[in-house]
Amino acid sequence: MKQYDLLNNDISFNVKYEFAEYLEDKAQEENLKLKIITNMLAYECRNPIKPHVLAEGKLYRCSLDDLEEYTQVKKAFHDAIKLDQKDDEGYRNDAKSELESIPVFFWKNMDGETVAACDVRIDGEMACVGQVYTPPQHRRKHYAENVVYYATKEAYEKGFIPTLYTNADYASSNKCYQKVGFEIRGSLCMVGFDKN
């Protein structure tokens, strides 16, 4: 990490707590401060469970035609979690790359408005559901639960094992994932270094 100049405020790492303790000891030797940014849970879904409440609207798979809207969704997501923030062009470049390479889903309400979103990244046998986001004005209407379930179900039916990582301290998102069949498989944390 030191050799490649990764010990700075701009880079964070997802690690198991045992490794975080090791890094903390090494950081002290280097007069660096290690901080836990987020406590996380790792989930896996071996049996998707249909939501008890079917949210109004339907699943929508995005294409490059949705670039501008997806760029805004990514910006809102990263603003909400306060991580990996970029300028508009950075979000647009990331959105374009993702739309060209991975499944990105919106949940559209009956008026055609995007009310939730997520993506699915395939890695070997795993399908990692990520960037789950619902705009504040549309929360508590089961939109996230539904977009995650249908995206998960599609990946599961193609033979992948759906997984996801989430903030352990955000109870409502954890409850949402558990309702649609995700089970906790472990805990980890996001850590970063402070040179000051």
- CATH number of the domain to which 122 belongs: 3.40.630.30
Residue 80 lies in a domain: yes
Domain count for the chain = 1
Q: How far apart are CA 121 and CA 101, in angstroms?
A: 9
Assess if residue 10 is contained within a domain: no
Q: How confident is the model at residue 156 (pLDDT cuts 50, 70, 90)?
A: very high
User: 48 in helix, strand or coil?
Assistant: coil
Q: Does 128 map to a domain?
A: yes
Of residues 92 and 12, more confidently modeled: 92
Please report the pLDDT score of residue 195 as a whole number: 61
Mean pLDDT of 73-96: 91
| 58/107 Cα distance (integer angstroms) | 6
Check the CA dihedral 57-63-68-70 and report its sign: positive
Inside any domain, residue 96: yes
Evaluate whether residue 151 is within a structural domain: yes
State pTM to two decimals: 0.87
Domain of residue 121 covers 52-159
Name which of 113, 97, 117 is nearest 105 in CA terms. 117
Whole-number CA gyration radius for the chain: 18
Residue 4: inside a domain: no
Evaluate whether residue 22 is within a structural domain: no
Q: Is 184 exposed, middle or buried (0-12, 13-18, 19+ CB in 10 A)?
A: middle
pLDDT for 43-54, tens place per residue?
999 999 999 999
Is residue 109 within 8 Å of residue 115, measured between CB atoms?
yes
Residues paired with 191 in a beta bridge: 13, 36
